[in-house]
Structure 1
Amino acid sequence: MTACTTRRTSAARSRMAAVGAIAVTGALLLTGCGDQRDKNTGATGPSGAPYFNLLPKHIQSAGVIKVGSDINYPPVEYRKSGKIVGLDPDIATALGKQLGVRVEFNNGTFDTLISGLAARRYDIAMSAMTDNKGRQTGVDPDSGKKVGKGVDFVDYLTAGVSIYTRKGEDQSIKGWDDLCGKKIVVQRHTVSHDLAKAQSKKCGSKGKIEIEAFANDTEAQTRLRGGGADAGSSDFPVAAFAARTSGGGKDFELVGEQVEAAPYGIAVPKDQAQLRDALKAALDGLIRTGEYQKILAKWGVEDGAVKEGNINTGA
């Protein structure tokens, strides 16, 4: 018999110099000896990895899936004590086990992740990215112009968008209509950014919304915390985490209800349908075993659970 081997973490190395991103090794996985056949798919692969044979040959040979992610969006993905942690890394690690490969998270700014896929810097992007038609088709929602080939999504969670303010200073903000004439901070090229721009156009005599957009959500929170804006907006899991943890829960509070509930998706290049379908199969496997639900419960996002992996369900 051949002895089993362990794939270990590789050293962090610099990547994406043009955008100042830093490659870091993400969660790495064990692959065992022998074969295991999944009763649902018939696929065989390393022991404990029933979906290995569904992967494209180049991924099988490499033994790794490179993930592009903006690792500054707690609790979805962030660094803690030098390690990459969060909902997305946990789900990616579990998918890697099912697929018999390790996953490697590479840091990049959110607005460069899809172009990074096109440039083959990553195999997939996983970064609390909302699945929508603009990203699927590569059409800019503001200009209506084609800006890329678009991507496919494997949808794994549903989340809405929330508004938050400094604690005790909600200024009677209960929803998006109440932001007219006020200043909001957001992360660039997110659904929150799009919603703020769309709402501002509707404000009329109330006055437009002053929007300050940042490269990441942490910078936006810092601006709001320091009194540089009236409100901020993020995906609900992120806004809720900030309200619960920033300043020991004394910095921010959520206001109003979350809106625009939509799927988070794993972005995959259009010409990588085999990889897309392998990820969907592995996600379905996690849902069947209950491991998916345990991960969501760990991060307090059980309400966003999906019953099965879906492809391109965003509107």
Structure 2
Amino acid sequence: MSLTRRAALAAPLILAAGAAAAQSGPLTLAQIRANGRLRIGCEATYPPFTFRESGNIVGYDVELATAICRSIGVTPEFIDTQWSGVIPALYAGRFDIIMSSMSYTRARMERVAFTIPYAEAGQSLLIRARDANTIRSIGDMGGKSLGVKLGSPGETLHPRLAERMRAAGGQPFSGVRTYDDHPAAYLALMQGTVDGVLNTLPTLAYVMRSQPNRFAIVRGIGADNWAGIALRREDTEVLAWLNERLRAMRADGSLKALQEKWFGLEFNLPDTIPEPAA
């Protein structure tokens, strides 16, 4: 999920510290079993991770959490939460973990513990399907027009991309158009107003899957980043269990199957927590 979209996570640390008393001691698997459920904080407006369909929260995260919880005989309960207060709500005991494509940043890792990655979160480039043979890297966008969303990581990234293109001896973008939202940028791409649109890989994969044969994706445009499951730093037993389940699902192919179902592609996931973004 974009850093701009979730910039409000940098709420004062005192909020989380003051709420921590609501959870007395570390959460254990025995407590989760006794409750019969794992309570999960999410933002249910982010398809295909967590979103509402016929009034129910569905998505990649929901199916993944269901598979994880099955190993200890409990069910996941997703709690739709305003993202700006999701970490204080975690420490206030409103839920047990956060699972909504939360990317790794230094600020977040000072406040919560993270599992190993379960999704990619780096920037990619959406292009028209017919251009897939001619636009294979950001360098091939020289002399072409780029679309970005106002306030998004793509808007922050594009000047650095242009500088990289110049340093490699190529042309920069012919122009950069800014849109109020990503759907408007995708429409401009279909209409030929721009030649590529920046956004995170999972989001673009979902767009491409939802509109077959219209688009293609160029991966690895910006710095690599991933998303993990977040929880209170003291909940070490739960963290170990989540990591064990993610590794087991990677090994047996079930995590790949979920990725292909919801995104139409397999994520490239490291085996350990990566160095966080700034």
TM-score tier (shorter): 0.5 to 0.7
Over the aligned positions, Cα root-mean-square deviation in angstroms equals 4.2
Task: State the Cα distance separating 1:116 from its structure 2 match.
Answer: 0.9
Task: Name 2:31's counterpart in structure 1.
Answer: 57
SS at match of 2:63: helix
Higher RCO (C-alpha under 8 Å, 6+ residues apart): 2
Residues 288 and 203 of structure 1, relative CA distance in 2, 3 Å threshold: closer
Matched, 1:119 2:89: yes
What is aligned with 1:71? 45
Aligned to 1:245: 210
Higher share in helix: 2
Structure 1 counterpart of 2:204, one-letter code: A
Spell out the pairing of 1:1-315 with structure 2 (5 A cutoff). Answer: 54-55=28-29, 57=31, 60-61=34-35, 63-74=37-48, 76-80=49-53, 83-108=56-81, 112=83, 115-120=85-90, 121-137=94-110, 149=111, 151-157=112-118, 159=120, 160-166=122-128, 175-176=137-138, 178=141, 182-186=145-149, 192=154, 194-196=156-158, 198-199=160-161, 209-212=176-179, 214=181, 221=186, 231-246=196-211, 248-250=212-214, 252-254=215-217, 256-259=218-221, 260-287=223-250, 289-299=252-262, 300-304=264-268, 310=272, 312-315=273-276
CA distance in 1, matches of 2:159, 2:99: 25
Q: Taking structure 1 as the reference length, what is the TM-score of the superposition?
A: 0.56
- The change in CA–CA distance for 1:228 and 1:276 in structure 2 (over 3 A counts) is farther
Looking at structure 1, the residues matched to 38 and 231 of structure 2 have their Cα atoms a distance apart, in angstroms, of 15
Q: Which residue of 1 aligns with 2:23?
A: none
Give the alignment's TM-score, normalised by structure 2: 0.62
Structure 2: unaligned runs, 5 residues or longer: 1-7, 9-26
Aligned residues: 238
Identity %: 21
Unaligned runs of at least 5 residues, structure 1: 1-18, 20-52, 138-148
Structure 2 partner of 1:140: none
Residue 231 of structure 1 and its aligned partner are, at CA, apart by 3.3
SS of structure 2 residue aligned to 1:100: coil
Displacement of 1:154 in angstroms is: 0.9
